[in-house]
Amino acid sequence: MIASAAASTAPAATLQASTPAEPPIRDLPSPNWDARPDAAPVDMLILHYTGMQSAQAALDRLRDPAARVSSHYVVDEDGAVWRLVAEQRRAWHAGVSHWRGHATLNDRSVGIEIVNPGHEWGYRPFPALQMAAVCDLCLAILGRHPIPARNVVGHSDVAPDRKQDPGELFDWSGLAASGVGLWPGPTAELGLVGDVPGALRAIGYDDGDPAATLRAFQRHWLPDAVTGHADAATQARLHAVLAAMA
Ligand SMILES: [Zn+2]
């Protein structure tokens, strides 16, 4: 448990801070990385949950050469932050993935694994301390790379057929209130979106299983109703997100 040189014992900045200090970060290098392609900009931030029974199990796996997976950061439930891979390197967290016409998103993204057992092992709310650390870390990353709000997404957004993380308990709304990602307010006057597949595509989703893609959208932007159905509330929300991304 070695703090970085820049570590401070001060509590994490509040969620409202506009220029928060980067949270104390512990380096715990993983061998699972390679070079980013030369021309790839870093313009995406992809958030995950670990989906394992403990933080230690996740850290072990993300540093196991045989597993061939990693992330740039891991944030524990108590707000502790580990750096496994330097941001200028390519970490291996997204797998087969698509967003806004791009694929192999590891090339262009920073990945954060957020400790939570996930849907398989007992999905539970993300504690406030953990979310505050995630928020500060995201703000620091956004200060280093030109990542637009519409490119701050979950693993399920970029791999809807395979992934559910970070899931419907994740506080995207709170993050957006602090300047991380996109969360449109109520925009009832916009009405329903007509072309649901077209709206999903315009937001950034790849063409895939329609219900899985709708569930991914709902996990992110309509977390109280993850149904996979394009009901009126979902169509209105699609319209609101689309308008906010314009
Ligand atoms: Zn993931």
Distance 168 CA to ligand 1 centre (A): 14
Quick one: pLDDT at residue 1? 30
CATH, range 14-181: 3.40.80.10
Reported pTM: 0.90
- Check residues 216 and 13 and name the one with the higher pLDDT: 216
Contact (Cβ atoms closer than 8 angstroms) between residue 174 and residue 15: yes
Tens digits of residue pLDDT in 165-179: 999 999 999 999 999
Tokens of 232: 């009126």
Which element (helix H / strand E) includes 153?
Answer: strand 152-154
Mean pLDDT, residues 141-147 taken together: 97
Tens digits of residue pLDDT in 61-105: 999 999 999 999 999 999 999 999 999 999 999 999 999 999 999
Quick one: pLDDT at residue 193? 86
Distance 47 CA to ligand 1 centre (A): 7
* 112, pLDDT greater than 70: yes
Quick one: pLDDT at residue 14? 44
Quick one: pLDDT at residue 188? 64
Where in the chain is CATH 3.40.80.10?
14-181
Distance 192 CA to ligand 1 centre (A): 31
Residues noted as catalytic = 113
Pairing of strands 109-114, 73-75: parallel
By CB neighbour count within 10 A (0-12 exposed, 13-18 middle, 19+ buried), where does 224 fall? Answer: exposed
How far is it, in rounded angstroms, from Cα 208 to Cα 206? 6
How far is it, in rounded angstroms, from Cα 59 to Cα 70? 9
* 3, pLDDT greater than 60: no
Distance 163 CA to ligand 1 centre (A): 7
